[in-house]
Every structure is written in structure tokens, then in C-alpha cells.
Structure 1
Amino acid sequence: MNTLELFKATVNHIPHEEFLFFFHCTPDLDKRLRQYLNLKPQDSFEEYFDMPRVVHVSLKPPAGFRKPDFSKYYEDMDIPHNAFINDIGVLEIPGSMYHFTRYVSPLRNAKTLKEIEDFPYPNVDGWIDSHMAEEVRKAHENNKPVICWVGHIYETAWQIRGYEQFLMDMILNPEICEFILDKICERNMKVAQAAARAGVDWLTIGDDVANERTLMFSIEHWRRFMKPRWAKVIKAAKDIKPDIQVDYHSDGNIMDIIPELIEIGVTILNPIQPECMDPIEVKRKYGKHLVLKGTVGTQSTMPFGTPDEVKRVVRERKRTLGYDGALILEPTHVLEPDVPIENVIAFVEACKEKI
């Protein structure tokens, strides 16, 4: 089966011998894996390993676009020379290890609703989508499914406001939360609609809303602040393209909200961390509604298992979770520097085995 056929079989829960699978590396592991395989920076792991190929499309900024000047939000501090302000206005200060950075939020000191309202929130007004349909057409001609990353809502909101400030606002100043979330929701809805108009197969969305045991806040707060906004985004896309697949990501134990994610139109759930949730229980309860994506632990199997253990886990996932075809194999997050190269290769080899 080609990748597009495999994608269609997967999302329609049709059993098949092969599985879609993916992995992504942090910069340090990416560099070492390329050295090990004698690959150049421009070479593709997908091509080298003959992995499933997908095409990513996105809106393009208009000619002459420049991101807003966020410097005034950091006038009260000395900015380290190696720090940078990202596209949503958050200052990232590199840490002492690898790729990790510390966030400093632009609205951390805001006290009034006017200060919140005056912030230049990310938006796609005037952005260009005219190329997207042609890119989808060419991808389908080459038997590749097409993905569009829509974005976060909650994660973007707290990064702009500040983590503790946003959580306190949920209790003390809910109008601040509502305003920020609405601005981000509006932006994401426009991206989702553009993707649906272009004929994209697969939207990726999500927010990390849980820790390893439970949600980071009450389910009532999730229902008030996050659920209706994601419902609005998903509905906007499905009103245009009813069969568009919606891939929702959240780390942690999100068992409590899975039924409501299904209710609002999520069809693919990622990453099903085995350290936090039992993948077999998720499959038993919700497998007829969801494709499970991920399930191979990056806190356990990938960094600490042997290559044989990695292969055993992948084979077990195929047997216990992929019997109806509705499984996409993937480590549960980007592979960190502590993952042995041999385990990456073992993961690929086991994924490529036919059942």
C-alpha cells in the first residue's frame, strides 16, 4: 500500500499488514544519528529509512511581513545575549542543557484588561492560502496524505500571559482568560478553514492539559475555557470538509476528557503515554472512535530499553492496538538526547515489519 492508501485504511479502521509510523529527534540526537548513518543535514530520515511520506502545508505570510516589535514588554529586565523573542512574543532564554529554554511571558506584568487587549496577538489576517490546494493536489497525485498544523490554544495563551498568572486568572480574572483564548481561537479557526478549503486530509491540534496523573486544572475549567473553543475550530473545518481527520495532542493522563474530545470531533489521539495511561484500556473504551497515535514511551522504552525491548513493545502495540488498523506508531514525544541510536533504528525496523 502507498502512504495515502495506508492513511485512508488507518482512519477508516480497516485492518492492514503495514502501519504508518513516524519519529522526530531533538537537535543533538538528530546530529548524532546523521553522523552514525553518514547523512548530510539536508538528507531525509524518511527517505533513508523508506518511511511513510506525508506533506505538510501551511499559510504563507504576505510579502514584506514583519512580526510585531515585542521589545517593550521586556524593558524591565536585562535580556541575555543568547536569548530571543519568538513569533508569539515570548522571550526564550537558553538553559544549560541541550535545546531547553526558559520562557518569560510578555504579559506577565499586565494588571488591566486594556493591557491584555492591546497585545499584538498572533493572527493570520492577510496571510496567503492560494497555494495550498495545488500542494494538496500534487501530494495526492504522489500518493501522500497532507497535514496542516493548526496550533495550540491553551498553551499559546499561558505562554503569552505567564503560566501561574493564567492559572490564577482562571479563578480570579476569567475575563482575561476568555479574551486571550478567543484571540487565539479566532486565529486557529481561520487556519483550519483554509486547510479544509484546500482539501487537507489531516489537521493536527492540541494542548498539554494534563500531568502524569490527572488534568492540570479541574475538568469544569477545561469545559469552560478549552473545550468550546476547540469545538468551534473543529466544526469550522468539518463544515467545509466533513471527512477531515483531527489529530489532538496532549501529554499526560487525559482519560477524563477523551469522551468529550470524541464528542467535539477528534478522530486521532496522540500520544497515549504508557507511563500515564494504559493504551489497552484506551483502545478498549474508545478504539471504535479513535485512531491511537504514539504509544511507545519516551520516558521508558525509547531511552532505557534495549533494542530488543523496543522491538518487543512495537510488536505488542501492533497486536493489541492495531488489530483493526487504527494505529499510528510513534514515540510519545520528540526523541531526547538520552535515546540510544540503536533504539531509534530498532523502532524503525520493528515498525516496518508486516503482521
Structure 2
Amino acid sequence: MYGGSGRADGPRGLCLPCQMGARFGPLPRGGCVKSRERVLAAINHQKPDRVPVDLGGMRSTGMMAMAYADLKQHLGVCEGAIYVFDPGQQLALIEEPILQRYGADVVPLDLGTISGWKPYRLPDGREALIRADFEMEPDGEGGWFQLDGGRRVGHMPASSYYFDSTYHPLAEATSAAEVDAYDLGEWTDADLRRLEREAKRLYEETDYAIMGGFGGAFLEAGQGLRGWDQFMVDIALDRPLAEAILHKVLDNNRRNVRRYLDAVGRYIQLIQVGGDLGTQAGPQLRPEWYYELLQPLEKAFWGEIHRLSDVKVFLHSCGGIYELIPGIIDAGCDVLNPVQTSAVGMEPERLKREFGERITFWGGGCDTQSVLPFGTPEQVYDHVSQRMRVFKPGGGYVFCQVHNIQAGTPPENIEAMYRAVHDNWAYGD
């Protein structure tokens, strides 16, 4: 999808009219500085030529397919397909002409982008393509069930734009022995070889920074295995069972990441790990429970990554996690995303002042809960310009909106967001 002539591969290709660039004029890629070098300079707290930009480098920095379709129509893209590579979140693969228009510097290494495609209709009825290995069936009420080997594991009701998880394989477990007997699964040799080929191609044929979509969550893994509410009860009332699950996840993460890095570690610059530790109102767990239960596991896992490679550890964790950030840094995290500035304790000025020299903030550039979907273009421009002034100084910042751009977001606001980025991204001498 990326590299070569600048065209997007696929069943119908992508034709971008010359007038598409008229709104911004020619968009500089940063002269002689390659995107890969620019991103690494920012992570190393050096000042690159400009602030790097991420649009779709991983599954929480992109755009929902319906929003992407609206944007392409607004820009006058006359051909092309909408590729849904993350069916659960209905995320579109961002094609190279759009990446170039907005000056994006990062691309994903993700099985979802190289699994082939089949016809699909978006929740609003528009034609698209979805990854070929995604299984689903009608629920009889206008929605869809997600299938895994015939088992229903997710559900998107007719009124929804997302598939919510409905299957928790250890929901009925009562003992560590049951946990130990469950197979968490490993990367297959076939998948690793496919990822290796794609990583090598991206590394040799493009200058983008490459984000390896690994995963490797702890709290979120436990919630997926047990159910969100039940795992929280386990932590509070059945700590031995919770610890058995978490340590099994750690062992599996370490085993998988060794094989993963052996396959792609020489090509990628970042590896995405983690899961949500926060809510809108603060951490999911008492901070002392995080430091007792989760931080030692993060330190062991992320330490393994650093021992095996030079790849930067990129943690995605939504919510108000201010109290946890010192522990996250101490555990070996290099990059924090999405920097949910609307959550309690996550004020941009405070984060930059207290942690800006110790971790790279990747996100926080535009609020996607209120400003981007519901503001005016002028409000979006002013909001993003202010965020750039806060996060940009001294490096240690990659621009991205806070999480994925949602369906219904006005294309004019997306354009205004990037206008503000481009007007404020240069570091100068």
C-alpha cells in the first residue's frame, strides 16, 4: 500500500486530482530529512526540522472508515476503495496520497493491512473492502455478529458503528489450574514470515517510520479473558487468580515478542504495546494497585524488548493516567499515546512541564471527543495551534489527534486541524 509510485495498490487503485493540493498548496516533506529520521529525532528529544505527524500508524491514531470516505469525497478523490483493516473499530487504511497530503511520517506493520480484501458495506451502506479473513454473520435485527472459527465473539448492533467483544474464554474459571490450562496462542510462523516480508519492503522502499502493531497488554488482556467487570472484581477480591492470569500473559508476551522481534526487529522503529489503564475520571485501578500488580510486569516485558532490540516502546493507554506516568516511564516506556487531554489530570501544560524531558508524547494534538467533531473549523485551528505551542518545544512530541477520528467528523475540521499543524510544525534554526 505504501511506497513505489505513490499510488495505492488494490482492486481499484486511487486517482487523486491535481487540484486536491490546492487548499494547502505544495506540502513540504521536510527537505532532506526522512520521516524515519524525523520520528527518531523527536523520540530522542532532539529538535527535528519539524514536528512529526502520525495519521494511521497504529489502531488508535487513525480514522473510521465512514469519516475517511467523507474526507475523500470532500477532497475530490474520484476513484479508490475504502479499506477496513480493523473491523472491530471500523478503521480505514490511510492511503499514501492522503498521508502525503497531511505530511504523515508513520505507517503500520499490521496483519490487517496485508490479509487481502473482500467486498463489504459500511454501517451507512457505502461500498468498501474489508480484510478477507474477517468472519461475520447477520444477527437478524440489522446488525452483525463477529465470528472466530464459527463462535460468536463480537456484536455490532444495527444502531452501532463498532463490534463489541462478547466472548470471554476464562469467564467461568475459578482456579489458577484452569488459567494454566488455557492456551493464549502464539504468532504463527506463516504470519511472522508475512510480517517480515512486509517490514522489509516498507523499510527498503519507503522512508516512513514503521510501527509494529504487537499488542502485549496486561490489564486489558485480563479484562478480555475474564470480562471487564469480573477481572476488576478478581483484582480486588481474588488476587491469586488475577495474578495467575497476568503472569500467564507476561510469559506469553515475552515468548511472542522474542519471535516477533527476531522476524521484524531490524526493520521497525517502534513497537506498540499496552492497553488502557485509565478512564475519563482517572486510573482504572488504585495507583497503588498499579504499582503492586502491573508495573513490575511492564518492566519485565518492556525490559525484554529493550534487551533484544533498539526498537522504541510505544504505550497506548487511554484515560486519566497522570498518577501512573512516573511508573510507566520507570518501567521502560519511550512513547505515550494517546495523551487523552480531556481526562482528569491530563492537562497538556502540566504533562509537558513534569514529564516532557523523560517521555515522548504522541497525541494530545486535537480533542476528538468535542472539538474536532463538533467545533467550527476556526475553533479547531485555534485549538490545534495552541496544543502545538505547548507540546512542540524541545522535541519529544509527535502530532496526532487524541485517538481515532470518528464517523461524522466534518472533513472541513480535519482540513483545519492539519492547516494548524502545518502552520506551526517548523522548528527553525
Please give the TM-score of this superposition, normalised by the length of structure 1. Answer: 0.84
Matched ranges for 1:1-355 at <5 A: 1-23=33-55, 24-37=62-75, 38=77, 39-41=79-81, 44-50=94-100, 51-57=103-109, 80=139, 82-86=144-148, 91-104=153-166, 105-124=168-187, 126=189, 129=192, 135-141=198-204, 142-151=206-215, 152-197=217-262, 198-199=265-266, 200-241=268-309, 243-276=310-343, 277-295=346-364, 296-353=366-423, 354-355=425-426
Structure 1: gaps (5+ residues): 61-78
CA RMSD of aligned residues (A): 2.7
Q: Is the 8 A contact 1:59 1:191 kept in 2?
A: no
**Counterparts of 1:231 and 1:345, CA distance in 2:** 40
**Counterparts of 1:130 and 1:107, CA distance in 2:** 30
Aligned residues: 335
Q: 1:162 to 1:330 in 2, by over 3 A?
A: same
**Counterparts of 2:148 and 2:287, CA distance in 1:** 31
The Cα of 1:58 is off from its aligned counterpart by 5.8
Q: 1:45 to 1:119 in 2, by over 3 A?
A: same
The Cα of 1:119 is off from its aligned counterpart by 2.9
What does residue 72 of structure 1 align with?
Answer: none
Provide, for residues 201-242 of structure 1, a one-character-per-residue CA deviation record: whole Å limited to 9, x for no partner.
11111211111222112122212332122111111111122x
SS class of match (1:330): coil
Q: 1:144 to 1:228 in 2, by over 3 A?
A: same
Q: Is the 8 A contact 1:34 1:41 kept in 2?
A: no
Structure 2: gaps (5+ residues): 1-32, 56-61, 84-93, 113-137
The Cα of 1:254 is off from its aligned counterpart by 0.5
Q: 1:308 to 1:103 in 2, by over 3 A?
A: same
Q: 1:30 to 1:132 in 2, by over 3 A?
A: closer
Of residues 333-342 and 181-190 in structure 1, the stretch that sits farther from structure 2 once superposed is 181-190
**Counterparts of 2:361 and 2:157, CA distance in 1:** 33
Q: 1:10 to 1:339 in 2, by over 3 A?
A: same
The Cα of 1:185 is off from its aligned counterpart by 2.1
Amino acid in structure 1 at the alignment position of 2:289: H
**Counterparts of 2:260 and 2:165, CA distance in 1:** 30
Q: Is the 8 A contact 1:46 1:53 kept in 2?
A: no
The Cα of 1:45 is off from its aligned counterpart by 3.9
Please give the TM-score of this superposition, normalised by the length of structure 2. Answer: 0.71
